[in-house]
Amino acid sequence: MKHSRRLSRRDFLKTSAALGAGLTLSQSLPALARTRRQDDELVMWWWGEQELPGLQAWVDDTVAAYTGAKVSAMLQNTDVVISQFQTAAAANEAPDVQFLWNGIYHMESVWFGYLAPLNGLVDQAVLDRSGATRLSFYQGDQYRIGWYPLPMIWEYNKDVFDAAGLDADNPPKTWDALLDACDKIKTSGVDPIGGGVQDGFWGEWYLGHALAQSLDSPSEALDLFIGDLDFREPKYHEFWVRLEELKTSGFLNDSMSSLELYPGIDLVVTGQLGMSESIGTRVPADNDTLNGRVGVMTMPVFGTGALAGKPILDSQGLGISSQTEQKEQAAAFLEFMHAPEQLAKFWELTHWMPADSTWDSSVIDAPIVQQLWDGWVTSADSIPYIPNLMPAQFWTDAMFVASQEIIAGTMTGEAAGDLAARVVQEWRDFNPDLVENYQKWADDLR
C-alpha cells in the first residue's frame, strides 16, 4: 500500500500564501473548474487513492449512484492538492467540492475566504457524526466534513516481542516500561525502535505523539507558536529530551538517518525493528504480511499533560467552495456520501473504515482493525493530531532540523527547544496577520 500524503504536502503549504494571492501554476493545473463545467454539473477535486487503494472505485460508484446532479470527479496529484485549489479559487475558478487535509492545510483557505462554512448547508447530524475533528472549526463554523479516519499509532512486531521475552499482547504503557522493553529487544539482537527520518516525516509524527504529552489542550500548541508559551521551558521541549535519551541509549536503528519514512517503518514488518510510529491505513496490509502478528499501541507515557497517553486521530475530509453557485447541491452530494448504502460500499471497495460513527462496523473482519475502530476512531478519548497546527517555517526550520540532528547525535533536546523558540519568534515577526488568525484559532480550541 502506497502512502505519499505526508511526503509532499508540507512543501505546497509553504507556497500556498503566494498562490492564494493570485499566482498560477499553469504547468501543473488542469483546465479550471468553471470552464469545464456543464449545466447543473458539480465539479469535485479529490485525493486519497494514493494512500487508500480502492478509493477511486468508491468515488466512481458514488458518482454513478448519485441522482441529484451530474458529478465530475477528478483525482488530484499529491503535489498540487493545496496549490491547485488555492490558485483556482484566486482566479474565481474553484471546484464545487474540494478534498481538504486537516488543520492548517485547509485553514489558510478559510482565512483567504475560499471555503464556505458547512453549518446550515450540510445536515448538522451528518456533520456531527462525520469525525472531521476539532481542527476543522474556526470561529464557531465547521469547514470540513469527515471522509475517512487516520489513526496515528505506534506499530510493533509481536514476534520480535516474543523473542525478547516480552508480553506481545500487553505492550509498554509507561516510559520506564518502554526503556525496559527496548533493552530486552536490543539484547535479543534486534533494533528496538526507530524508522527513517531522512525526509523528516518520522520527526513530524514523533512530535505529534510526544509534544502532546506536555499539553492539556491542542490550543497550548498554538500558544507555543504565537508566543504565549515558550519552547525553552523544560516542559515543552521534554519530548526532544526523551528522543535524545533513546539515541544515547542506543535504542534507535543506526540506519535511521539514511532511510525515508516508509522504508523505515517496513523494518517492523521484516522483523529488523521492534517498534515504530505508523498510520492506521498501513495496518491491515502489514498485519496480513505478518500473519496477524502486528500490534498497535499509543505512545508510552512520560508526560503529565492531560493529553498524555491518549489515542491520536486525524481524518481526511471534504469541503465546499465559497464561490460555487451550487452550494445546496454540493451539500446534498456530501450528505449522500454518508448515506448508509455508500458507507457500506466504502468498506466493500476499500476494506477500510469510513469516517461516520453510524457506520455498521459489524462487517469488520480483523481484530486489529476492530481495535483501531474502538480504540481510536470512535473513542471519546481520541485527540487531534498536533502537527496539523504547525506553521510551515516551524516544520522546515525547527522540527525537521531538530529531529534529524538529535537522531544524528549532534543536538541535545534542550538545544532543540532553543532552536524552536528562535524559529517561532522569526515566524511571528514576519507574519503578523497569520499570528492574529492563529490567536483566534487558539481561542476556538480552548
Assess whether pLDDT exceeds 90 at residue 197. Answer: yes
32 or 223, which is more confident? 223
Cβ pair 416, 203 in contact under 8 A:
no
Distance from C-alpha of 279 to C-alpha of 265, rounded to nearest angstrom? 10
**In this predicted structure, what is the pLDDT of residue 3?**
39
What would the grid cell of residue 243 be?
Answer: 528522543
Could you give the 3-state DSSP secondary structure of residue 154?
A: strand
What would the grid cell of residue 119 be?
Answer: 453549518
**In this predicted structure, what is the pLDDT of residue 33?**
55
- Type of residue numbered 286: D
**In this predicted structure, what is the pLDDT of residue 439?**
95
> Which whole number is the average pLDDT over 23-51?
67
Residues shown for the chain: 446
Mean pLDDT of the chain: 92
Q: Concatenate the DSSP letters of all residues of 50-116 into one string.
A: TTSTTHHHHHHHHHHH--SSEEEEEEPPGGGHHHHHHHHHHTT---SEEEE-STHHHHHHHHHT-B-
24 or 407, which is more confident? 407
> Which whole number is the average pLDDT over 52-65?
96
Assess whether pLDDT exceeds 50 at residue 72. Answer: yes
Cβ pair 243, 418 in contact under 8 A:
no
Per DSSP, which regions of 158-271 are E strands? 191-193
Which residues, including other chains, have CB under 8 Å from residue 282's CB and lie 6 or more apart?
Answer: 1, 3, 155, 265
Which residues, including other chains, have CB under 8 Å from residue 45's CB and lie 6 or more apart?
Answer: 33, 73, 74, 76, 84, 85, 95, 97, 98, 99
Assess whether pLDDT exceeds 90 at residue 336. Answer: yes
Assess whether pLDDT exceeds 90 at residue 79. Answer: no
21 or 185, which is more confident? 185
> Which whole number is the average pLDDT over 95-118?
97
The DSSP element (H or E) to which 18 belongs, if any, is helix 16-20
Share of the chain above pLDDT 70, in %: 91
Assess whether pLDDT exceeds 50 at residue 117. Answer: yes
Assess whether pLDDT exceeds 60 at residue 41. Answer: yes
Query: What number of helices (H) and strands (E) belong to the chain?
Result: 21, 10
Q: Picking from 15-29, 138-152, 253-267, which range would have the lowest pLDDT averaged per residue?
A: 15-29
**In this predicted structure, what is the pLDDT of residue 273?**
98
**In this predicted structure, what is the pLDDT of residue 40?**
77
**In this predicted structure, what is the pLDDT of residue 23?**
36
Question: What tens digit of pLDDT does each residue of 343-381 get?
Answer: 999 999 999 999 999 999 999 999 999 999 999 999 999
Partners of 155 in the beta sheet? 276, 296
Identify the structural domains of the chain with CATH numbers, from first to last.
Answer: 5-150+314-378 (3.40.190.10)
**In this predicted structure, what is the pLDDT of residue 176?**
98
Assess whether pLDDT exceeds 70 at residue 5. Answer: no
Assess whether pLDDT exceeds 80 at residue 4. Answer: no
**In this predicted structure, what is the pLDDT of residue 39?**
66
User: What is this structure's pTM?
Assistant: 0.91
> Which whole number is the average pLDDT over 385-391?
96
CA distances from 292 to 143, 285, 296, 367, 381 (A): 38, 10, 12, 9, 26
The DSSP element (H or E) to which 133 belongs, if any, is none
By the 10 Å C-beta count (0-12 exposed, 13-18 middle, 19+ buried), 185 is classed as buried
Question: What tens digit of pLDDT does each residue of 216-255 get?
Answer: 999 999 999 999 999 999 999 999 999 999 999 999 999 9
426 or 19, which is more confident? 426
What would the grid cell of residue 285 be?
Answer: 496490509
Distance from C-alpha of 440 to C-alpha of 438, rounded to nearest angstrom? 5
For residue 35, name the pLDDT band (cuts at 50, 70, 90): very low
30 or 231, which is more confident? 231
Partners of 73 in the beta sheet? 44
